Homo-oligomer: A and B are copies of this chain.
Amino acid sequence: MNQDYIKPDNWSVIEEGFDTEQVKSSESLFSIGNGAMGQRANFEEQYSGPTFQGSYIAGVYYPDKTRVGWWKNGYPEYFAKVLNAPNWIGINIFVNGEPLDLFKCKSIANFRRELNMKEGWYKRTFEATLQNNITLRVESIRFLSLDLDEIGAIEYAVTPLNASAEINFGPYLDSGITNEDTNWDDKFWETVSVNHQEDRAFIISHTMKTNFFVCTFMQTQLALNGKVLTQEKKIDTRSNYIEFQYENEVDQGETLTLTKWGGYTVSLNHDKGQLEKVSNDLLEEASEMGFEKLLEKQKQAWKKIWDMADITIEGDVQAQQGIRFNIFHLNQTYLGKDARLNIGPKGFTGEKYGGSTYWDTEAYCIPFYMATKDQKVARNLLEYRYQHLEKAIENATKLGFTNGAALYPMVTMNGEECHNEWEITFEEIHRNGAIAFAIFNYHRFTGDYSYIPEKGLEVLIGIARFWHQRATYSDAKKKYVILGVTGPNEYENNVNNNFYTNYVAQWCISYAIENIRKIKNEFDSDYTRIITKTKLSNSEIDAWKLVADNMYFPYSEERQIYLQQDGFLDKELITVSDLPKDQRPINQKWSWDRILRSPYIKQADVLQCIYFFEDNFTDEELKRHFDFYEPFTVHESSLSPCVHSIQAAKLGRMEQAYEFYLRTSRLDLDDYNHEVHEGLHITSMAGTWMSIVEGFGGMRVMDNMLSFSPKIPDQWDAYSFKINFRDQTLKINVDQNKTSFQLDGSAELQILVNDALVSIKPNNLVTI
């Protein structure tokens, strides 16, 4: 942890002082994005120190040939990789012929970064003294427009402080970039053309294999003391690079400013022959508007997001900064406009994990997007999986399943599996459960049933078929068992009868059958279409039901708890608190076999099941299971603390809930896992939001009603959040004494507060 590295602030992430050791971490933390693209906070000017260059375009990936030590049948041929895209932010700066490079300066003073989350921009200021003794003040501000989401803008201002100097700006585009993560050092990009036209430049390049065509573009404008300069430039054009070179004599104290617009247009969204034209039109529009106006629109757009999604916390700046950091990055990553996109675990902040979509989306992210955005956004996330149903059926077929059984991939870009560890790829099959659960969850929250007859039921049928085939009958147990799986707790591999997996399997089948019946009765033409397409028969449904009705669950009579898997109680049950500190994190200190035979849990497993299906468990049962499993949980997954925070809050253990909350909300800001330089943990950020809304706020949906049981940590004076519920917005304020509700909408809303029915009229403050 590096608690003191980021300054506490309600609305901004702030770093003060230049430390080369922190550059890669800051590049992650200060990342910016607009849902369509994003970039690490790399410097515009040259930097010869350790840096991790990254600029990413949503949906643009490369299928990198799988690399494993020992091939197993069924491994996918490719791993879809997030690609570092051509660089459009670069600006070479020479001062009397010496390059500005913060790694080589004589001294650097007043270095400061600010990521203004309220307004959606990133600023860097510093004073650098070069080896030639010229001291410059530099101020650079950058943002990726939410309005014109293919464009970003930079204003880069340089003021020589102690002498006049010749200052040369060299803004450039560079498509000769590489990935840090590559299996075989393949070439990922091929440049097609490098063009320029007046103050604009364009590089067309395409990804290898996937053939995404991308136009990377820029426009530049120079001003002295705010007055636009028109001057000649030199142009350096190479096979995958173009630079405009401006030479200026700048007097001491004068400020030379380069405004640079840049970004990408992509063949995903445009005719590939039109990319340069589209880019040119975009630059026309943006430069016409000017930097200030575009920034003004940026502030308005972020205001609109915050108006709906903000959570306030009073009396605890670190907690406030943490939750806003999470909400901000979720919105930078995914805005829900495009059903082809999804939420990558690292968003646009790093390459790690490749692929874009994990079960994180369904298990952790959907509730956030449902409650803070128009419900179409969550529906888009569901449709993403519907679009991949055929691929999920193919994937199951490769593993020996038949008859339309669907196994959704562990990791994917386009619906094809791209992961390659047998214990995960082939065995972490519970992911199917989360995908079905998300359909249920969407309907429960939005009340919109239409998705299920239109699309969702086909997904549910494919999933039910999978579970039916995957369970086998144990003659010894006289029950159906599910052998050889990895549950949510990935610190167990190839176990039998993982409780979570068996439970979701049973639930998926029952939920599919329930919906088949409902659609048969209520959506005649959908029913006919689906039955025709899937060739589903009554006898097949009976066979599913037999499995669901006779599913085996490992249980300890003595302890009155469900067991995480068969044989769990054979382990040496030493709690985490009795584990020497120097043995942790176990995933860095222990060999894999030792982790596997230990009782230690990476993230909620049985408790995840109780979280999803809490209505089926009593509070007493929750307490028993929490008391048994949490002490063995090492929370070495970013997805672990949030569920535990919610459950601790439910059990009234507010100290523990608060502790888990801090851990989830400041995971990256405080770099708990010493890996923030690789990128941020985007999907777990949605878990942070759940910790407050579902944990402290106790929000649930029951029988088409919002329900709350508000609690507040001692450390806070008050907190508030908003819920977009069926086209009305309810704001909830909780302080140490009371809870108030305010409705922005047109119709009276019935809610439950601590199980009591409360009526909220629009624009009427109700305090309880």
Residues of A within 8 A of B (CB): 66-70, 72-74, 398-400, 420-423, 426-427, 472-477, 481, 483-484, 493-496, 566-567, 569-573, 587-594, 596-597
Q: Which residue of chain B has the shortest Cβ distance to A72 in the bound complex?
A: B592
Q: Which of B72, B477, B573 contacts A475 (CB 8 A)?
A: B573
Whether B594 and A399, one on each chain, are in contact in the complex, defined by CB atoms closer than 8 angstroms, is yes
Q: List 20 A-B contacts (CB under 8 A).
A: A67-B69, A68-B68, A73-B588, A73-B590, A74-B590, A399-B591, A400-B594, A426-B592, A472-B571, A472-B572, A473-B572, A474-B570, A475-B573, A483-B567, A483-B570, A493-B493, A493-B494, A494-B593, A496-B570, A566-B570
A561 to chain B, nearest CB (A): 13
In the complex, what residue of chain B is closest to A421 when comparing beta carbons? B70
CB pair A476 B68 closer than 8 Å: no
User: A476 to B570, Cβ gap below 8 A?
Assistant: yes
Among residues of B, the one whose C-beta sits closest to the C-beta of A570 is: B474
Contact A593 B477 (CB under 8 A): no
* Copies per complex of this chain: 2
Chain B residues contacting A588 (CB-CB under 8 Å) are 73
Given known contacts A422-B593, A484-B597, A494-B596, what 6 new A-B pairs fall within 8 Å (CB)?
Answer: A398-B591, A422-B591, A475-B569, A484-B596, A493-B494, A496-B567
| A contacts with B: majority SS | loop
B69 touches A421 (CB 8 A): yes
Contact residue among B398, B422, B495 (Cβ-Cβ distance under 8 Å from A592): B422
- Which residues of chain B are within 8 angstroms of A483 by Cβ–Cβ distance? 567, 570-571, 596-597
Smallest beta-carbon distance A267→chain B, Å: 30
Decide if B593 touches A399 in the complex (CB within 8 Å).
yes
- Chain B residues contacting A66 (CB-CB under 8 Å) are 69
CB <8 Å contact, A591 and B426: yes
Those 5 A-B pairs whose CB atoms lie nearest each other, nearest first: A74-B591, A426-B593, A68-B69, A484-B597, A483-B597
Please indicate the chain B residues that have their CB under 8 angstroms from the CB of A398 in the complex: 591
Q: Which residues of B contact A472 (CB under 8 A)?
A: 571-572, 597
Q: Which residues of B contact A495 (CB under 8 A)?
A: 494
| Complex contacts, A567 vs chain B, CB 8 Å | 483, 496, 566-567
Q: How far is the CA of A422 from the CA of B494 in the complex (A)?
A: 12
A278 to B609 CA separation, bound complex (whole angstroms): 73
In the bound complex, CA of A573 to CA of B67 (Å): 35
Report the minimum CB–CB distance from A481 to chain B (whole Å): 5
Q: How far is the CA of A496 from the CA of B72 in the complex (A)?
A: 22
Q: Which of A67, A475, A569, A593 has the most CB of B within 10 A?
A: A593
Q: Report Cα–Cα, A472/B496, bound state, in Å.
A: 20
Residues of chain B within 8 A of A475, CB atoms compared: 569, 573
Chain B residues with CB below 8 A from A72, complex form: 591-592
